Amino acid sequence: MNDSREIELDGHIIDSGIMEHVLDSILDMGGDFEILEFSVGKRKTDTSYARIRITGTGADNLDSIISTLHRHGARLVDSDDVKLVPAEGNRIVPKGFYSTTNYPTEIRINNEWIPVEQIEMDCLIVVSPDKQSARATPMSKLDKGSLVVIGEHGVKIHPPERSRSHEEFEFMGGSVSSERPTVTTIRKIAREILDTHKKGLKVALVGGPAIIHTGADAAAASMFHEGYIDILFAGNALATHDVEFNLYGTSLGMDIRTGELVSAGHKNHLYAISEIMRAGSIKRAVEIGVLNSGIMYECVKRNVPYVLAGSIRDDGPLPDVITDSMIAQDEMRRYVPEIGMVLMIATMLHSIAVGNCLPSYVMTVCVDINPSTLTKLMDRGTSQAIGVVSDAGAFFPMLLEQLHDLQKK
């Protein structure tokens, strides 16, 4: 029969559920299988190996099955070099292009496996003209003539195997918890921040204006001041609220110390932007003593890089905001390679945008008062995220307390 092909799998394929997903997918898609070889790891340290012949209902169906299995880490036995075609125009993807996962990925070229750099999901793989390197490339940056990988031939991915170690974050792996002990959860996140730094990696905050609105500005600023957070991704709203609060004590006109709206409070929002406009930039406003505290102040003082991406609902915006969304995306991508952990707090838009650019091995913690924000983020592919249903106003002070407590020990 033509419509069959052999794949192989190895690693902890039983206890990671990979074997299950593979057989399941074949049956779900109407295919059939025969297990040709199966050696099972007898002990927990041993790995297993399987060789399976897949039969489809036709050539298209078989392609479809192979394509799905590939995403579970299966390799074609008769694997060969990747196939490449040049892009016919800017931002025009070639038919049959290989669409990336956010898992570590290798491609075979000239009989050698090379890693795909800057992996992120839903990209194309573009091979350099000299065929010495490859890179995950978003559609928006695909140029005419770029060499694009076609199909799964010669592509190998490494889906995460479930962690065997209890020292790692125990509830890694895509769950939303509103019925967990709050302090216990926050302590684990605190420990993870310290561990990320120990590994020499950076912690990024993706934050929305609710951080200031719910009264957590000072605690969040301390996170930067004390070096727990190394990078900031946000929008005009977070930065403006932070400046407004630190200049006038209000957030969109609400007095944070009393919770009451002050008269004509929204003007403070526009005054805050104007003060920064007059200085020329946030950095300059800090230097000339206009802005003396808060999240943005700490970022400037500690040289924490920040990317402020514009959106269509912005007032102002601040001069530091990148209003073109494609340029803002690129700017965010620059920092991704150094990041080991991301805290996403109370912003769906920025969280999804950053999540799109992250490799699967970046620890991602998402905090929102609204469980559906968390669910959406995971549905969109950031399946490694851990969701915590909480509000920023409670989360940051408790997190800081846990960090201090852990540091004491």
| 3-state secondary structure (DSSP) of residue 381 | coil
Query: In this complex, which beta carbon is closest to a second copy, that of residue 72 or of residue 225?
Result: 72
- Give the Cα-Cα-Cα angle 44, 46, 47 (nearest 5 degrees): 115
Is residue 79 a contact partner of residue 38, using CB atoms and an 8 Å limit?
no
> What's the CA gap between 329 and 319, in Å, rounded?
17
β-pairing, 175-177 with 202-207?
A: unpaired
Subset of residues 228 to 247 that bind a second copy, contact rule: CB under 8 A: none
Kindly write out the interface string for residues 211-230 of this chain, putting x where it contacts a second copy by CB under 8 A and - elsewhere: --xxxx--------------
Kindly write out the interface string for residues 276-315 of this chain, putting x where it contacts a second copy by CB under 8 A and - elsewhere: -xx------------------------------xxxxxxx
Query: In this complex, which beta carbon is closest to a second copy, that of residue 128 or of residue 311?
Result: 311
Closest CA to 343 of 174, 239, 228, 181: 228
| 8 is an interface residue for a second copy by CB under 8 A | no
Subset of residues 109 to 168 that bind a second copy, contact rule: CB under 8 A: 122, 138-140, 162, 164, 166
Query: In this complex, which beta carbon is closest to a second copy, that of residue 36 or of residue 302?
Result: 36
Tokens 């003593």 belong to: 289
Interacting residue with a second copy among 90, 132, 292, 407 (CB under 8 A): 90
Rounded least distance, CB 110 to a second copy, Å: 26
Strand positions, DSSP E, 141-180? 147-150, 155-157, 175-177
Query: In this complex, which beta carbon is closest to a second copy, that of residue 69 or of residue 300?
Result: 69
Interacting residue with a second copy among 192, 230, 242, 391 (CB under 8 A): 391
Q: Per CB under 8 A, which region of 78-86, 180-188, 296-304, 336-344 contacts a second copy?
A: 180-188
- Give the Cα-Cα-Cα angle 211, 214, 215 (nearest 5 degrees): 85
Interacting residue with a second copy among 112, 168, 324, 338 (CB under 8 A): 324
Interacting residue with a second copy among 47, 132, 292, 372 (CB under 8 A): 372
| 407 is an interface residue for a second copy by CB under 8 A | no
Rounded least distance, CB 249 to a second copy, Å: 11
Query: In this complex, which beta carbon is closest to a second copy, that of residue 42 or of residue 199?
Result: 42
| 201 is an interface residue for a second copy by CB under 8 A | no
State whether the Cα torsion 362-363-367-373 is positive or negative: positive
| 65 is an interface residue for a second copy by CB under 8 A | yes
Rounded least distance, CB 246 to a second copy, Å: 15
Is residue 76 a contact partner of residue 153, using CB atoms and an 8 Å limit?
yes
- Distance (Å) of CA 238 to CA 210, 222, 318: 8, 16, 11
Q: Is 73 exposed, middle or buried (0-12, 13-18, 19+ CB in 10 A)?
A: buried
| Alpha-carbon dihedral 243, 247, 248, 250, rounded to 10 degrees | 20
Interacting residue with a second copy among 5, 7, 9, 19 (CB under 8 A): 19
The answer for residues whose C-beta is within 8 angstroms of residue 405's C-beta and 6 or more apart is 190
Pair of tokens at residue 391 = 């509000």
Query: In this complex, which beta carbon is closest to a second copy, that of residue 17 or of residue 104?
Result: 17
Beta bridge partners, 207, equal: 345
The answer for residues whose C-beta is within 8 angstroms of residue 344's C-beta and 6 or more apart is 206, 207, 350, 351, 354, 355, 364, 365, 366, 367, 377, 385
Rounded least distance, CB 198 to a second copy, Å: 22
Interacting residue with a second copy among 9, 68, 109, 248 (CB under 8 A): 68
Query: In this complex, which beta carbon is closest to a second copy, that of residue 112 or of residue 143?
Result: 143
Q: Per CB under 8 A, which region of 109-117, 193-201, 269-277, 296-304 contacts a second copy?
A: 269-277
Query: In this complex, which beta carbon is closest to a second copy, that of residue 196 or of residue 351?
Result: 351
| 404 is an interface residue for a second copy by CB under 8 A | no
> What's the CA gap between 82 and 108, in Å, rounded?
6
Query: In this complex, which beta carbon is closest to a second copy, that of residue 112 or of residue 324?
Result: 324
